[in-house]
Amino acid sequence: MQVTARLILRQFTPADADNLLALDGDPRVMRFLDPATKSRAQIQSQVLPRFLAYYHRYRGFEFWAAHTRNGGFFGWFGLRPVTPTAAAMVDWPDAPPGDIAVACLGYRLRVSAWGRGYATEGAQALIRRAFSELGVSQIVATTMAVNSASRRVLEKAGLRYVRTVYLDWPDPLPGNEHGDVEYRLDRNDWAA
């Protein structure tokens, strides 16, 4: 569990299916992501098992259910261990368990949580954990170039723009023609 001034980040459980269904079922939340609304069956058979598998495969690298201190679920944050390649970050494979140097930061929040600083606060908490407890040397993140709100969160959390990549998606989202942006933060820069 991670606790910040205003947030509690805890491990997911199978009981979170309805929370994830409501989150992924909101087209405003999914605007820059996979627009296909997931069913309860998909949440239970695909999404939750993937999140829960990280607890067993990677110690400390997890997906956390995010709550305000008064208890309301508002989304999730994640640290995914990745193996960097020359490809775009979205195509980087999971790192093998063991000596993990790079972690990909991710988050997804309900609309009611937008604009309150929760995304930055949660991202900063995971970055601090990755660098100070997990021995990560670099945090990476990616979003669509047109997702200005997510870009601001990454910048406020200390990540810096590295490059724009142009990917051919089977069903491109509006704004895809502007590319996807990649951000990074090295431990030494964070410590400074």
- The CATH code of the domain that includes 130 is 3.40.630.30
Q: Residue 187 region, left (φ>0) first, then alpha (ψ -120 to 50), else beta?
A: alpha
Place of tokens 């590319």: 179
- Print the domain residue range for 156: 2-191
Q: What is the pLDDT of residues 72-123, one digit of tens each?
A: 999 999 999 999 999 999 899 999 988 799 999 999 999 999 999 999 999 9
Over range 32-37, report the average pLDDT: 75
Over range 141-164, report the average pLDDT: 97
Over range 158-179, report the average pLDDT: 92
Share of the chain above pLDDT 70, in %: 98
- Domains in the chain, number: 1
Instruction: Read off the amino acid at residue 115.
Output: G
Instruction: Give the model's pLDDT for residue 6.
Output: 94
Is the pLDDT reported for residue 36 higher than 80? no
Instruction: Give the model's pLDDT for residue 185.
Output: 98
Q: Which of 48-52, 69-73, 188-192 is most confident? A: 188-192
Rounded CA gap, 180 and 89, in Å?
A: 9
What is this structure's pTM? 0.93
Going by C-alpha positions, the residue among 84, 89, 59 that lies closest to residue 137 is 84
The residue length of the chain stands at 192
Average pLDDT, whole number, for the chain? 92
Q: What is the SS3 assignment for 139?
A: strand
